Every structure is written in C-alpha cells, then in structure tokens.
Structure 1
Amino acid sequence: MSLAVRWTRLLMVAWAAGFTGAAFAIRAAMDGPIEQYSGAALSAAIVYTIVIFIWPTVSPPAAGSAAIAYCWFIEFAQLTPIPAALSQRSWFVRQLLGAQFDLIDVAWYPVGVIPLVAVHSLLRARTRSQENPSLS
C-alpha cells in the first residue's frame, strides 16, 4: 500500500470523526430543522469519506455518486418496516439506518456531498499538476 493511500485513509478517518462530532454537537445544541437538515448533510459527508477510505483512487464524481446513492437507498428502505424494527433494538443501528422516511433528507444528502466532491476534485487536479508540471 502506497504512502499516499495510507495518508488518504488516515485523513478520511479524521474527516469522518470530525463530521460525526459536528453532527452530534449540532444535535446537542439545537433542535428543529437545522438539526435535521445538518444531520442528513453530515451523514452523507460521512458516507463520502467511507467511500474514499474503501477505494482511495476513485474519482470524486464516482465517490459522490456512490455516497448519494447509498444514502438514498437507506432513506427509501425506511419506507419498509425493516429499518424501524432494527432501530428499536439498537441505538447504533438507529444512527446508521434511521427509522422513518423523510423526503427532505433525500434533498439534503447531495448538499453534504457536492462540496466535498468539488474540493476533492480541486485538490486532485492541483496534486496532479504539481506531479506533472508539463500539464500546466
């Protein structure tokens, strides 16, 4: 495993922890729509970091698409009774699967991912231009 892959994975763990901390801090400090919307956006951002952790060389648009698709899959799965039943048994599972479908969350998942895709794309382009100055 290359040093770049190791650093990428370490950074993704740090970013996921930061997004998780931010989500729980907002939840502790606020109640209402800000808590709900930021929670959806930050959970999608966490999924993005997990995608990059698992597959460090994936392109930013592909990682973003995978993260949003996963979040939408989980959200639409909440239209069935399965996530709610599993969530009643475990706080941790409730954090992962939720318990109730909310159409507004579907709109907020891209809000958490699109800025990360943009920053990731810019950083990747910058790194590539520094590695190969003849492309600039």
Structure 2
Amino acid sequence: MPRLPLFCVAVLTVAAGVGVRALFDGPVPKYAGDALYTVLIYMLVVLILPRIRPWVAAALSAGASWVIEFAQLGEIPAVLRPLLGSTFNPPDLFWYAVGAAAAWAAHTLWLRRTG
C-alpha cells in the first residue's frame, strides 16, 4: 500500500479526533477518540509494515490499545499520561475494537478496489 495515502489518512485521523473533541461534549468525543486512537495505531502499523494483512493490522492495533488501557490499572508516568491516559475504563476496550474493525474494513475495501 502506498505510504503517502496512509500518512494522509493518519493526519486526517488526528484532525478528526481534535475536531470531535472541539465540536461535541459528553461521551461522543470520548468514545470516538478511543476508536480514532486505534485507527491511528492501525495506520502506523501499516506505514511500518506496508504488506501486512488487514486482519493482522487490526489485531495488532486493537491489542496495542488494550495493552495501553490495561496498563492504566497501574501507574502511568506523568509525562506519558497525555498520550496513554491514566484511568482504566472498561467501555474503552469495546471502542478500540470498533476502531480496529473500521480500519480493517476500510483497508480491505481499499485493497479490493486497487488490487
């Protein structure tokens, strides 16, 4: 998969996360941010490993998000809290899976249309 479109999608993912937080209150930006966080991890995985299968990238991105969430049960260093969070929240695990599934579906569709 070409890296420039992946990089652009990664930038748009960050912009979407910032936009959702700016436009909405309550649980919408929280859980949309969780899903988009996993989409960003997915994009980074595919940037690093461009030939990776979509289901593997989805599993890795969801897994990384879950590891970070479970790490919040312990002490996250203060300098890393803005990036990794600080409070374990079980519903986040579901939204990470939603983000991974959405990225998997988009990636699979992209490969079918271009391949």
**TM-score if structure 2 supplies the norm length?**
0.91
Identify the residue that residue 30 of structure 2 maps to in structure 1: 36
Distance in 2 (CA, whole Å) between partners of 1:108 and 1:34 is 11
Deviation at 1:20, TM superposition (A): 0.7
Q: Which range is displaced more, 64-73 or 21-30? A: 21-30
Residue of structure 2 aligned with 1:17, choices 11, 18, 24? 11
Q: In 2, distance between residues paired with 1:39 and 1:95?
A: 13
1:97-136 correspondence runs (5 A): 97-128=84-115
Q: Residue type matched to 1:124 in 2?
A: L
| Aligned alpha-carbon RMSD (Å) | 1.4
Which of these two proteins has the greater Rg computed from alpha carbons?
Answer: 1
Distance 1:65 1:37, change over 3 A: same
Deviation at 1:119, TM superposition (A): 2.2
Counterpart in 2 of 1:58?
Answer: 52
1:76 is matched with which residue? 70
% identity of equivalent residues:
36
Q: CA deviation at 1:110?
A: 1.3
- Structure 2 stretches lacking a partner, 5+ long: none
Report what 1:95 is aligned to.
82
**Post-superposition shift, 1:94?**
2.8
Distance 1:31 1:126 in 2: 37
Q: What is the CA distance between 1:126 and its match in structure 2?
A: 3.2
User: TM-score scaled by structure 1?
Assistant: 0.78
Shift of 1:32: 1.1
2:55 partner amino acid: P
Q: Distance in 1 between matches of 2:81 and 2:10?
A: 18
CA–CA separation in structure 2 for the residues paired with 1:10 and 1:49:
11
CA distance in 2, matches of 1:26, 1:99: 21
Q: Which 4+ residue blocks in structure 1 deviate beyond 6 angstroms?
A: none
How big is each residue's C-alpha offset from its partner over 1:38-67, in whole Å with a ceiling of 9 and x where there is no partner?
010010100000000000000000000000
Q: Count matched residues.
A: 115
